[in-house]
Every structure is written in structure tokens, then in C-alpha cells.
């Protein structure tokens, strides 16, 4: 059946996150030939509307208010509910990001709706929409279908490919009126600890360090390699606990879950909690002096050696490849 599906376009620092475009691709499958409506929420976000059109949105609406300049659960809930009341959709798709994980359950509760969270795939099969999601820290997968009511899902970044960008597509951004009031949380200032550059949860390449980096300075070779590859730097909990880096870089069961095309684990032993956050990466390269390290069990390629010798060698070789490309 054809459905109208709303997609939340998530903006950060004046630009849309890539997961917004992945969500549109998922919404196209959910819509089954129906209309995909991109939703922008913020202070001045209408200018981002054409990007949503470029990646497949059929319509774009925006709720703009100075009170929405920073994300707050109350403000975004009120704005999104105003859009839902106006558009009356049969489906909702969010990114499974920090914002999406906080906002989606609140909206589902307000709508008395079910919610399929952290989906890594969606397809039509046997007359049903079938969502695939990982369980047991990625050791198994389950299939979910919606038997009744709203189709509401959040999708894990970096798993559903966005549609081909078509810059010839453009359109109007319709304003939606929403009264943003009685906010229980007001953001006065935002202090960012995350490293600048590529967003860790959306990076195609991640270079991660563990206790084997030995110090804060030990992350410098990893940062250089990540920069050459256009990727992001991550860390195990052990490295974070040792104060080698900030917890914003932590990957694992109690940190971020990443699924890049390439994951380079340097000096990481491979504790099960860390594997839960990266084992679904498409290609895993492990570098460790211990040939018995657990990380080698999940790695596609293993290098037994000192990361402080191997990482600079890799960096130089990749630099040569980029020059000759």
C-alpha cells in the first residue's frame, strides 16, 4: 500500500547529517510508491530543503523558531507533533542517532505507536515491510514487521545507502506553524568535546586505538592515518578509562556503535564489549603485538606487529596511493 512517510532531516552545524539521506532511501521503501516528506526543525533551516529534494524527498516542510536552535526533547516533540497533525502520515523514519534515540520513543508514546529501533535494512516481502535489526550485541539478527498502525522506525547510520543525488530536483519548503512553549530544558551553551572532522558514527573509515597506544600522544599517528583516509578516530573503553582520549570517541557496548566500510583496530585486544560496537564493520583490520589477541577472531586482515611501526608505514603507503590516484 502507498503511504505518506515523514523523514526527520537532522541538521548539525548548519548542514544535514548523511543519515538524513539514508533515512529518505529507507522511507522510499516504506512508502511503497507513496509520498516521502522531509521535515526540518530548527532556527533557520529552510535553506537545507533542496538537499532533501536532491536525495529523493517529494515534499519538504519546516518548523522554524528561535527556541529550536538547539535540540530539546520538549521543543522538538512539539514541533514534530504539529507536522504530524498537519500531514497525517502513515510512516515515520528517523536516524538512530543520539537525537533520534531520544526523540523517537517520545513521539511513539504520544502517538500510541510501536517503534522498530536501530534497523539496518528494510524490504518488502510477502506483502509486508520487513525490518532487519541486530540483537545480542550484533551476534544475531531479527526480522520485524508492523502488523497494524503507523510504520515507525529508526535506522542505524551507514547501513542503508542513500539514493543517487539528483541536483536537478528542487522545490518549495512549506512552513508549519507550531507553538513552542513551556520548555523544561533551555540550552544556554554547548561545549563540544568530540574531535572536529568526520562524524564518528557516520564515518566510512574508522581508525581506533586501545590501551596499546600507551598515551594521549600515542593517538597522534592514528589521527594522521585517519586524516589521510578521510576517516574518524575512535577508541576502546580501556583507552578512554586510561585518559588517553575523551569518552566521546568510545566505541563499544557502552559507547558508539559504528559500521564503517573499513575499521582499523590498533592496539585493541578485542574485549566482547568493544566488539559489540564494531563487529558489523564491512572490513576489519587488526594491528596487535599479541598474535593471540581476541580482535584477530573477527578481523578480515590481521597484522602482528607494533602499531607505532605499522601505522606510520600504512600512512605513507596511503599517501603514495592518493598521489598516484
Alpha-carbon torsion 311, 315, 317, 318, what sign?
A: positive
Q: What's the pTM?
A: 0.86
Helix (H) or strand (E) holding 224: helix 220-229
Question: Could you tell me if 155 and 247 lie in one domain?
Answer: no
How far is the C-alpha of 32 from the C-alpha of 229, rounded, in Å? 37
Question: Could you tell me if 169 and 235 lie in one domain?
Answer: no
Query: Could you list the residue range(s) of the whole structural domain that residue 277 is in?
Result: 200-324
> In the predicted model, is pLDDT for residue 140 greater than 80?
yes
Task: Give 137's pLDDT tier (boundaries 50, 70, 90).
Answer: confident
DSSP, res 246: -
Q: State how far the alpha carbon of 75 is from the alpha carbons of 69, 106, 107, 110, 187, in Å.
A: 10, 12, 12, 14, 11
| Chain segment 145-195, per-residue pLDDT in tens | 998 899 999 999 999 999 999 999 999 999 999 999 988 888 877 776 655
Helix (H) or strand (E) holding 96: none
Point out the domain boundary residue: 106, 140, 175: 175
- Interhelix angle 73-87/98-111, rounded to 10 degrees, is 50
Residues 6 or more apart in contact with residue 122 via CB below 8 angstroms: 26, 29, 30, 129, 130, 131, 132, 153, 155, 160
Q: Give the chain's domain count.
A: 2
Question: Could you tell me if 39 and 161 lie in one domain?
Answer: yes
| Chain segment 118-134, per-residue pLDDT in tens | 999 999 988 899 999 99
Question: Could you tell me if 137 and 213 lie in one domain?
Answer: no
DSSP, res 250: B
How far is the C-alpha of 1 from the C-alpha of 167, rounded, in Å? 29
In a domain, 192, yes or no: no
Kindly report the CA angle at 288 between 285 and 294, in degrees rounded to 5?
80
Amino acid at each position: 500500500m502507498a503511504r505518506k512517510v515523514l523523514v526527520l532531516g537532522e541538521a548539525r552545524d548548519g548542514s544535514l547529517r548523511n543519515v538524513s539521506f539514508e533515512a529518505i532511501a529507507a522511507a522510499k521503501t516504506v512508502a511503497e510508491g507513496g509520498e516521502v516528506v522531509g521535515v526540518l526543525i530548527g532556527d533557520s533551516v529552510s535553506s537545507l530543503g533542496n538537499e532533501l529534494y536532491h536525495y529523493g524527498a517529494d515534499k519538504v516542510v519546516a518548523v522554524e523558531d528561535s527556541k529550536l536552535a538547539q535540540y530539546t526533547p520538549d521543543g522538538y516533540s512539539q514541533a514534530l507533533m504539529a507536522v504530524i497533525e498537519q500531514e497525517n502520515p502513515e510512516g515515520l523514519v528517523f536516524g538512530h542517532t543520539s537525537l533520534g534515540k531520544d526523540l523517537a520513543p517520545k513521539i511513539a508514546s504520544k502517538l500510541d505507536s510501536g517503534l522498530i529501533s536501530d534497523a539496518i535494512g528494510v524490504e518488502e516481502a510477502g506483502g509486508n515491510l520487513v525490518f532487519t535489526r541486530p540483537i545480542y550485541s550484533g551476534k544475531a539478527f531479527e526480522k520485524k514487521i508492523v502488523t497494524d498502525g503507523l510504520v515507525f522506525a529508526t535506522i542505524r547510520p551507514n547501513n542503508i545507502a542513500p539514493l543517487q543525488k539528483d541536483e536537478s530536483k528542487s522545490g518549495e519548503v512549506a512552513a508549519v506553524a507550531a507553538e513552542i512553549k513551556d520548555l523544561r530544558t533551555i540550552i544556554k551553551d554547548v561545549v563540544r568535546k568530540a574531535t572536529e572532522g568526520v562524524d564518528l558514527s557516520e564515518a566510512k573509515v574508522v581508525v581506533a586505538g586501545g590501551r596499546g597506544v600507551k598515551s594521549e600522544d600515542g593517538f597522534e599517528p592514528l589521527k594522521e592515518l585517519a586524516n589521510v583516509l578521510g576517516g574518524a578516530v575512535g577508541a576502546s573503553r580501556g583507552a578512554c578509562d586510561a585518559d588517553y582520549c575523551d569518552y566521546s570517541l568510545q566505541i563499544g557496548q557502552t559507547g558508539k556503535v559504528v559500521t564503517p566500510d573499513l575499521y582499523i583496530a590498533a592496539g585493541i585486544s578485542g574485549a566482547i564489549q568493544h566488539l559489540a560496537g564494531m563487529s558489523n564493520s564491512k572490513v576489519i583490520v587488526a594491528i596487535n603485538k599479541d598474535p593471540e589477541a581476541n580482535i584477530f577472531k573477527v578481523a578480515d586482515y590481521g597484522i602482528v606487529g607494533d602499531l607505532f611501526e605499522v601505522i606510520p608505514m600504512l600512512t605513507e603507503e596511503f599517501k603514495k596511493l592518493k598521489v598516484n590516484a
